[in-house]
Structure 1
Amino acid sequence: MNLFTELRALVIAELGAMEAAGQLPAGLETAAVAVEPPRDPAHGDMATNAAMVLAKPAGLAPRVIAEALAARLAADPRIASAEVAGPGFLNLRLNPGVWQGLVRTVLQTGTDFGRSDIGAGQKVNVEFVSANPTGPMHVGHVRGAVVGDALANLLAFAGWNVTREYYINDGGAQVDVLARSAFERYREANGLEPEIREGLYPGDYLIPVGEALKTKYGTTLLDQPESVWLDEVRDFATDAMMAMIREDLAALGVRMDVYSSEKALYGTGQIEAAIETLRGMDLIYDGVLEPPKGKTPEDWEPREQTLFRSTAHGDDVDRPVMKSDGSWTYFAPDIAYHYNKVQRGFDQLIDIFGADHGGYVKRMKAAVSALSGGRVPLDIKLIQLVKLFKNGEPFKMSKRAGTFVTLRDVVEEVGADVTRFVMLTRKNDMALDFDFDKVMEQSKDNPVFYVQYANARINSVLRKARAAGVSVDDATLATADLSVLNHPAELALMGKIAEWPRLVEIAAKGNEPHRVAFYLYELASDLHGLWNRGNDEPGLRFVQEDTSVTQAKIGLARAVSVVICAGLAILGVTPVEEMR
């Protein structure tokens, strides 16, 4: 039940009636007509821009259209008043029965309230995390993992068919470095002094890998040249790192549907096939690039390379796919991997990348555009950095990781639920400060606590009512006389509940899961506001002497809890029923 969608349909229907009556010219385009919350709640419950967007094509003054539309809308039983404001905006107030009926709908629907079908079952691939398999996940990966997982949850809730995917970057030089680092720990396990020279991974997390190598190989690899052991140790260490990463993701409550390997693209013809497909479109050629920005021709050695004509699909410059020595660039397997996604029949692709991948956005979008014939959109979300603080100071590095704070460090400190919610309290392209002290504070300034406290407060009311012998299951509450919910503060809270289905669709269309966290904070704030007003106005308290009134008021509170639980489920956060 999306009241904003219903009221927009009413507005569109009345505009059609105005056309039929000759009050508007026929054939007007109404796609830009919107019904949304007014900027100032004092102006009404909803507002429409219909007169403003239709005035010019209709050749009429906006107020003329608005006044005629207002007269028609006022005749609908759901509309208490329709008032023209300013140059032609139309503010609507709804009859209280509409809001009261919404509470009943929420209680009857449960946490499926707000679920949408706008995705129409389209297949969307959300690739996220995709950390190099060279060590534990760090705090930057945490934010990307949470954003990707919450986005996948949001899209599924809004009707998309979602696949969560992890791309294992196991085809580059970094896994050779991993193998050499693990081999030093293997030597250490055999009683030798490890040589953790510059460029190797120094973290203690490789000590168990070295010990496992000793268990498998004994001392047989010690005197062998690198050419003998490199491949085997690389595969062994990569598998160990991926097992660790899977455990890290599980600790954060993240699951993947598919793990794809970069290494699997080499030697299988997939890279060659993708490049040849582009060549068949006249998008691959041999050429020489201009010097990069900041380099003078004197500092630049021009070399002929095999290039992808990415400028034909919106990029700034063409991009190399093969080096002058005949080896593939890093971009080539990424092209092949995304071509594989296109061939798997996805209708939409979403990549969650770290902020350092900003230069990759246009080239990757160009490749997908070319390989899908413009059919498959690619949205790339860049995740900005997370700065950690504790006791007012930057949080120190992890000894186990050697150079960074791990996912486990964060989750073990504050828990997965707090970690996930906090990571969504800023839009992905904004830097985020994660203060270990503040995220555990019990105050309004801590959004995690504030939302959870709202749900706990509601559950405390439910427990109190049950203890008094009042039936407060959802089915009973849905049959209560909700007409007693008529105070402006109660109606305002219902209005905030009504925004949930609309918010889901807006957030899903924009691939913006942080909007859910923002909305939950606002909903919790309204609930707390009503609760606190009850301290001075006994009639607003949720528990009253009259059982039927109590059930109606608890029905409103329970509707808030239903929406909070639905929203937290999208964020991957477990709602609490009691604060400890």
Structure 2
Amino acid sequence: MTLYTRFTAHLDAALDALVAAGALPAGLNRAAVTVEPPRDPSHGDLATNAAMVLAKPAGTNPRALAEKIAERLRALDEVDAVEIAGPGFINLRLNDDTWRAELSAIRDAGGDYGRSETGKGITVNVEYVSANPTGPMHMGHCRGAVVGDALAALLEFAGHKVIREYYVNDAGGQVDTLARSVHLRYREALGEDIGEIPEGLYPGDYLVPVGQALTQEYGDRFVGAPESEWLVPFRKAAVAAMIVLIKGDLALLGIHHDLFSSEAELQAAGKPEAAEAELRARGLIYDGMLEAPKGETPEDWEPVVLPLFRSTQFGDDQDRPIKKSNGQWTYFGADLAYHYQKAQTADALIDIWGADHAGTVKRIVAAVAALTGGKTRFDVKLVQMVKLLRAGEPVKMSKRSGNFVTLADVVREVGKDVVRFTMLTRKADAQMDFDFAKVVEASKENPVFYVQYAHARIASLHRRAAEAGIVCGAVDLSQLETEDLALVKLAAQFPRIVETSATAREPHRIAFYLYDLAAELHSLWNAGNDRPERRFLNVDNVPVTCARLFLADAIGQIIRNGLAIMGVEAVQEMN
């Protein structure tokens, strides 16, 4: 039990006592009651809105109720003072021994400090990346890949069972184009001069080995054959080769999925038809005609009867077709079936999408709610593109890929940890610049460096203590002073940060928190530059040194725990 959960229990006990005494009615909903750090640290260590939330349904005055709650909380051994602020907020100041005990709890829990059981018994499917299988990963895919992978790890740390899924879009026209591009490389591998790659085909050199492999399998059998004979086997081989390529690229980022689900297999299994039948039975799909396009109507436009989902019932501006006029499934229709399938094996679904898909979020969320009867939580997290810069100038495209910068090239240049951490230094739906020079800069303005440097500094303490002959047995934490304990107060927020980040589905909060924790550590460290008695390592005062080594170890543990969620290694020294 962490400090925040413990004080939540203390508050519940105080409220239960007031109910038993007749000062509060029984059965009040406490879901909105919180125990959290006050916005202004000068107000105290913990704050609760209990009186503000419960006063109205209890038919009493918030400040009067706050006085009754405060009276109960003042009796706690861990509390030095309880103050009421404004109309009824309750602020608590904890005694120093409480913070020393929490410091010991951090050390005792080790790699499990911050783990939560809030997600226990809940299975979450996180679907991320899901790029079309037409080439290597590029930096347009990178941010969503990192956000999705870090979110999956965060949810696991918060107690959820997580399924990491990649949806392979192998049923659309883009994979036919891929097959035609591979056929061209196949002919090239057999000695044909193919000249310039025709417009509309994929030009990247990554398809050369795929064409070569097909010559080993088929010889020259399909050189002059009609497309109808080779399109299907070439498409299958090309998609399989691209999945291998994609998995290799993702592995460079430390990303591995549990499932690779095929859209083509989904459709072959009749899943879209099943989803349509389910929604028709609920009156949410009907046969109707789309409205004519707004503005000038094209000459070839004809009203066509199509199966339409009643997305206007859920705030959309028009009902949406699930099939095209030629009978093929629309992207929306196929997505309905895919999400319906995922909902059979998970209690909650999360999709990581590019921001260019923002217009489709409302309708797919509505459709999933309809299909699952509202029982399955479904979140779509939108991720903005990343602008690549080198010393402020846009980065040129990659020759290998044909028209984009590959993820592999970026990871090999700056490293996996730099890429992953940087992708989490902004909220996912905020614009991001990735400047090759700045992400490896050794400065406070570079969060990657700043957090890694904090951990490396902590790691250096033990080496220096050993060189100085300092050996710590039983550590006296009473040697820690107010400035030291201020760092403990921030460290103790980590479990709460994990829970709130997981609930909000926002892994970037872990990166923000680690930066703040690193900044406090650096500040405490630098205080020793002007005040020798504040140094972490003081050979003339071994008891204080051992207490601060204990503190540093605990902070290092939290940094490691947070970086592990982000998929980033905690380094022992900086090169």
**TM-score, length-normalised on structure 2?**
0.96
Residues 123 and 294 (structure 1 numbering): CA distance in 2 closer, same or farther, change over 3 Å? farther
Quick one: which of 523, 534, 550 aligns to 1:555? 550
Q: Is the 8 A contact 1:125 1:163 kept in 2?
A: yes
Match for 1:163: what amino acid?
I
What is the 5 A alignment of 1:285-364?
A: 285-292=286-293, 301-313=302-314, 315-343=316-344, 345-364=345-364
Matched, 1:505 2:499: yes
1:58-94 CA-partner distances (Å, limit 9, x unpaired): 3333322223322321221110111122222221110
Residues 74 and 296 (structure 1 numbering): CA distance in 2 closer, same or farther, change over 3 Å? farther
What is the 5 A alignment of 1:204-215?
A: 204-215=205-216
Residues 56 and 298 (structure 1 numbering): CA distance in 2 closer, same or farther, change over 3 Å? farther
Residues 497 and 315 (structure 1 numbering): CA distance in 2 closer, same or farther, change over 3 Å? same
Deviation at 1:512, TM superposition (A): 0.5
CA distance in 1, matches of 2:285, 2:19: 54
1:507-541 CA-partner distances (Å, limit 9, x unpaired): 00011000000000000000001001122222322
Gaps of 5+ in 1: none
Residues 395 and 83 (structure 1 numbering): CA distance in 2 closer, same or farther, change over 3 Å? same
Q: Which residue of 2 aligns with 1:257?
A: 258
CA distance in 2, matches of 1:376, 1:252: 30
Residues 241 and 10 (structure 1 numbering): CA distance in 2 closer, same or farther, change over 3 Å? same
Quick one: which of 509, 521, 529 aligns to 1:527? 521
CA distance in 2, matches of 1:557, 1:495: 13
Match for 1:543: what amino acid?
L
CA distance in 1, matches of 2:471, 2:359: 59
CA distance in 2, matches of 1:294, 1:13: 64
What is the 5 A alignment of 1:3-18?
A: 3-18=3-18
Deviation at 1:299, TM superposition (A): 9.0
Deviation at 1:11, TM superposition (A): 1.9
| SS of structure 2 residue aligned to 1:228 | helix
Q: Is the 8 A contact 1:342 1:376 kept in 2?
A: yes
Matched, 1:451 2:447: no
| SS of structure 1 residue aligned to 2:81 | strand
Deviation at 1:417, TM superposition (A): 0.4
CA distance in 2, matches of 1:449, 1:368: 42
Match for 1:562: what amino acid?
Q
Match for 1:142: what amino acid?
C
1:406-452 CA-partner distances (Å, limit 9, x unpaired): 11121012111000000001111111111110000000000000000
Q: Is the 8 A contact 2:127 2:165 kept in 1?
A: yes
CA distance in 1, matches of 2:64, 2:47: 17
| SS of structure 2 residue aligned to 1:322 | coil
CA distance in 2, matches of 1:449, 1:78: 37
Q: Is the 8 A contact 1:144 1:383 kept in 2?
A: yes
Q: Which residue of 2 aligns with 1:229?
A: 230
CA distance in 1, matches of 2:362, 2:355: 14
Deviation at 1:325, TM superposition (A): 2.4
Gaps of 5+ in 2: none
Q: Which residue of 2 aligns with 1:39?
A: 39
Q: Which residue of 1 aligns with 2:562?
A: 567
Match for 1:12: what amino acid?
D
CA distance in 2, matches of 1:371, 1:31: 28
| SS of structure 2 residue aligned to 1:76 | coil
Q: Which residue of 2 aligns with 1:187?
A: 187
State which drifts further: 132-141 or 11-20: 11-20
Residues 175 and 559 (structure 1 numbering): CA distance in 2 closer, same or farther, change over 3 Å? same
Q: Is the 8 A contact 1:451 1:521 kept in 2?
A: yes
Match for 2:286: what amino acid?
Y
Matched, 1:169 2:164: no
Deviation at 1:468, TM superposition (A): 3.0
Matched, 1:274 2:268: no
Residues 113 and 169 (structure 1 numbering): CA distance in 2 closer, same or farther, change over 3 Å? same
| SS of structure 2 residue aligned to 1:7 | helix
Deviation at 1:311, TM superposition (A): 3.5
Q: Is the 8 A contact 1:52 1:88 kept in 2?
A: yes
Quick one: which of 473, 482, 497 aligns to 2:477? 482
Match for 1:450: what amino acid?
Y
Q: Is the 8 A contact 2:186 2:214 kept in 1?
A: yes
Q: Is the 8 A contact 2:391 2:438 kept in 1?
A: no
| SS of structure 2 residue aligned to 1:266 | helix
Deviation at 1:20, TM superposition (A): 3.0
Matched, 1:579 2:559: no
Q: Which residue of 2 aligns with 1:419?
A: 419
Deviation at 1:6, TM superposition (A): 1.5
Residues 243 and 291 (structure 1 numbering): CA distance in 2 closer, same or farther, change over 3 Å? same
1:94-148 CA-partner distances (Å, limit 9, x unpaired): 0001110111111111010000000012111000000100001111211011000
State which drifts further: 384-393 or 362-371: 362-371
CA distance in 2, matches of 1:313, 1:125: 23
Match for 1:205: what amino acid?
Y
Q: Which residue of 2 aligns with 1:121?
A: 121
CA distance in 2, matches of 1:85, 1:51: 11
Q: Is the 8 A contact 2:479 2:543 kept in 1?
A: no
CA distance in 2, matches of 1:292, 1:563: 56
| SS of structure 1 residue aligned to 2:39 | coil
| SS of structure 1 residue aligned to 2:223 | coil
Q: Which residue of 1 aligns with 2:50?
A: 50
Q: Is the 8 A contact 1:291 1:297 kept in 2?
A: no
CA distance in 1, matches of 2:33, 2:259: 41
CA distance in 2, matches of 1:467, 1:170: 60
Deviation at 1:235, TM superposition (A): 1.0
CA distance in 1, matches of 2:278, 2:29: 40
Deviation at 1:281, TM superposition (A): 2.0
CA distance in 1, matches of 2:419, 2:426: 13
Q: Is the 8 A contact 1:107 1:559 kept in 2?
A: yes
Q: Which residue of 2 aligns with 1:29?
A: 29
What is the 5 A alignment of 1:425-464?
A: 425-464=425-464
Q: Which residue of 2 aligns with 1:541?
A: 535
1:6-49 CA-partner distances (Å, limit 9, x unpaired): 21221222123233334444443332221111111111111112
Matched, 1:493 2:487: yes
CA distance in 1, matches of 2:371, 2:159: 26
CA distance in 2, matches of 1:284, 1:113: 49
CA distance in 2, matches of 1:299, 1:199: 24
Q: Is the 8 A contact 2:289 2:306 kept in 1?
A: yes
Deviation at 1:169, TM superposition (A): 0.5
1:186-206 CA-partner distances (Å, limit 9, x unpaired): 122222222521111111111
| SS of structure 1 residue aligned to 2:119 | coil
Q: Is the 8 A contact 1:313 1:370 kept in 2?
A: no
Give the paired residue count: 573
CA distance in 1, matches of 2:377, 2:293: 28
Residues 7 and 293 (structure 1 numbering): CA distance in 2 closer, same or farther, change over 3 Å? farther
| SS of structure 2 residue aligned to 1:5 | helix
1:527-569 CA-partner distances (Å, limit 9, x unpaired): 0010011222223221233333222111101100000000000
Deviation at 1:260, TM superposition (A): 0.5
| SS of structure 2 residue aligned to 1:398 | coil
Match for 2:367: what amino acid?
A
Deviation at 1:313, TM superposition (A): 4.8
CA distance in 2, matches of 1:456, 1:559: 14
Match for 1:511: what amino acid?
R
| SS of structure 1 residue aligned to 2:162 | strand
CA distance in 2, matches of 1:266, 1:15: 55
CA distance in 2, matches of 1:193, 1:466: 68
CA distance in 1, matches of 2:352, 2:443: 32
| SS of structure 1 residue aligned to 2:115 | coil
CA distance in 2, matches of 1:321, 1:26: 50
